[in-house]
Amino acid sequence: MTQTLSCFKAYDIRGRLPDELNEDIAYRIGRAYAESIRPTSVIVGRDIRLSSDALATALINGLRDSGVNVYDIGLSGTEEVYYATFSYQDAGQVMDGGIMVTASHNPKDFNGMKLVRELSKPVSGDTGLNDIKRLAEKNQFDDVATIRGALKNIDISESYTNHLINYINPKLLAPLKIVVNAGNGAAGHALDHLETALQKLMPKPLEFIKVHHEPDGNFPNGIPNPLLPENRDSTIDAIKAHKADLGIAWDGDFDRCFLFDENGRFIEGYYIVGLLAEAFLKQYPGAKIVHDPRLTWNTVDIVHEMSGVAIQSKTGHAFIKERMRLEDAVYGGEMSAHHYFRDFSYCDSGMIPWLLVIELISQSGKSLSQLVDERLLKFPASGEINRTILDSDKAISKVQDHYHGKAISIDYTDGLSMDMGEWRFNLRCSNTEPLVRLNVESRANEALMLEKTAELLALLA
């Protein structure tokens, strides 16, 4: 009898324990991944959640029973699974895929998995996840392999750390004081390795002020999700107490990082996309930069100023990565704090962005607030505003009808984007909830941006 598995989402696997995800389902996912992808060798890692070890063990057993060799990197961030998948070789054998056991920033009674195939290409929706779901639900697999797959524990920390440092020139870094908040998530070990490596390469070392640094699956300091304002206070307080130059906080699997300036102000991810685009175009003049459609003007302005090529892609990691590969783009960024890098096999990383930002601070002689304030004044933005609306399609049609005669251009890359010349907005439906998501920006006119944001929210109401 086929069992419907609600833990399969559009881009990954995510569910509440034990009813939506458990060890039996994890084992079946391992068997289904093996039968669908047909890999020989697969990387597996896991976050610090209390359930992650047991789920990873069940997943590994499913893979091995299918004859797949498993290379276990242990406690890790999602990007370490990406890195190991595209870079690790065993006696010339490259990896055919990778699976990270994580629920990222979800509450502690959730867990999940992120799946990739060779070269860390995403497995989602139409690129294989639906097939894996169908096989796991059916739960009728080929016989257990005659030769069971091997299990090998590997340590990628030195190679991974060296790869990260290659994105910057450590000799150019100023001895900044940096608050780093791992949020009781998995980021602590990666920061420790970077700290040790950078100390050997810099004329004067960085000073790290470590907050909630030790991994703890009980999440005693709240869910590792810096997008929640209530989870930012510990970072802000440490910046002010230590007079730090900036602060950085990560989500549970550290594929996203969030930056705070020297005053403790949280910096919207949109403006970090612009800073990183600038960093790469200094290094690679004329390169292509991929961005999402929610907020665009600041990114496009910087890219054009530096003679780069700005390319718009639908929101979502699978779409961004696919477009980056197609265009051979050097960098891609989403306002949600996902940043993608060509030399990281077009995958997202939460460690590369802050390294590039401290290099920008060091070389420019400007503080993070100075770097960002210039752009905030030029293109003020609302940030993403969510509203619960049951008939979201009808609401978006109403907004389009209202502004139709005033728009210079209308774009449907992702939801509805309308450009009114001095201001623009993007309105899109959530993939998973009865929500519409609104973003508004203007050209150097914060009052206009605020006025039009209120106007749009009144229309949606």
Active site residues: 104
> Please, are residues 278 and 303 in contact by the beta-carbon 8 Å criterion?
no
Contacting residues for 104 by C-beta, under 8 A, at least 6 apart: 47, 78, 112, 251, 252, 253, 255
Buried b / exposed e along 122-142 (16+ C-beta atoms within 10 A): bbbbebbbebbbebbbebebe
Nearest to 12 by CA among 29, 35, 31: 29
Helices (H), 170-256: 187-201, 233-242
Residues 6 or more apart whose CB falls under 8 angstroms from that of 110 comprise 14, 15, 16, 17, 21, 103
Q: In 3D, which of 249, 289, 261 has the Cα closest to residue 373? A: 261
Neighbours of 362 (CB within 10 A): 18
What is the spatial distance between Cα 424 and Cα 215, in angstroms, rounded to a whole number? Answer: 42
Do the beta carbons of residue 44 and residue 98 sit within 8 Å? yes
* DSSP collapsed to 3 states, 130-171: HHHHHHHHHCCCCCCCCCCCCEEECCCHHHHHHHHHCCCCHH
Whole-angstrom distance between the N-terminal and C-terminal Cα of the chain?
Answer: 45
Q: What letter would DSSP give residue 423?
A: E
Ramachandran area for residue 264 (φ above 0: left; ψ -120 to 50: alpha; else beta): left
Between CA 367 and CA 40 the distance in angstroms is 49
Question: Is 218 within 8 Å of 212 (Cβ atoms)?
Answer: no
Triad 22, 25, 28: Cα angle to 5°: 150
Alpha carbons 267 and 373: distance in angstroms, whole number: 10
To the nearest 10°, the Cα dihedral for 199, 164, 13, 69? -100
Distance of CA 233 to the CA centre of its chain: 22
